[in-house]
Amino acid sequence: MSGSFALQARTAQLPGALAQRPTVVSIWLAVNDMNATIEPASFANDLGAIVDALVAGSEAKIFVGNVPDVRSVPAYADEDKAALFRLIGAYNAAITAIAGRHPGRVVPVDLFTGSAELVSTLTVSGDGFHPSDAGYQLIADRFAEAMRRGGVPLR
């Protein structure tokens, strides 16, 4: 569901996902929570519950994307860049810690390292926030590469 927060995904999407008995799951939730000023600890609690439930209730390999360095994205033009960088770091640390609880089953997808290409004028849509088609392609490529490295056969 586009625009979801981790809590919404936990309550509204997780039961249906488990019912589908997935073998591969991709999750990228952090940016909406971050923009809604949800504390990193609250986000981590909800994301952790999602991941733990997927690990316990399925055989899925789970890929979780972190937050790119969005400081240059137009929607953040008026934000305190140092504070934003710290917030991104807190969210990314939470994602790394959650993935670390389930080595081999949960794989963090690094959208932060080398994220300049993800947040350029060509990869951010006209609204100044969401990825453009080219931006979504780059994000999908990062997930696909992580999946290939994680043993998921892709075309």
- We report the CATH number of the domain holding residue 94 as 3.40.50.1110
For residue 2, the model assigns a pLDDT of 60
Number of domains in the chain: 1
Confidence of residue 58 (pLDDT cuts 50, 70, 90): very high
pTM of the model: 0.93
| Residues whose CB falls within 8 Å of the CB of residue 66, separated by 6 or more in sequence, listed in order | 30, 91, 92, 95, 96, 108, 109, 110, 111, 112
Beta-strand pair 106-109/61-65? parallel
pLDDT of residue 112 exceeding 90 = yes
Q: Mean pLDDT across the stretch 91-115? A: 95
Domain carrying residue 25 = 6-149
CB of 33 within 8 A of CB of 6? yes
**C-alpha to C-alpha distance for 63 and 128, rounded to whole angstroms:** 26
The pLDDT of residue 154? 87
Q: Identify the pLDDT of residue 66.
A: 96
User: 3-state class of 61 per DSSP?
Assistant: strand
The pLDDT of residue 123: 81
Whether residue 83 is contained in a domain is answered as yes
> Considering the domain boundaries, does residue 104 fall inside one?
yes
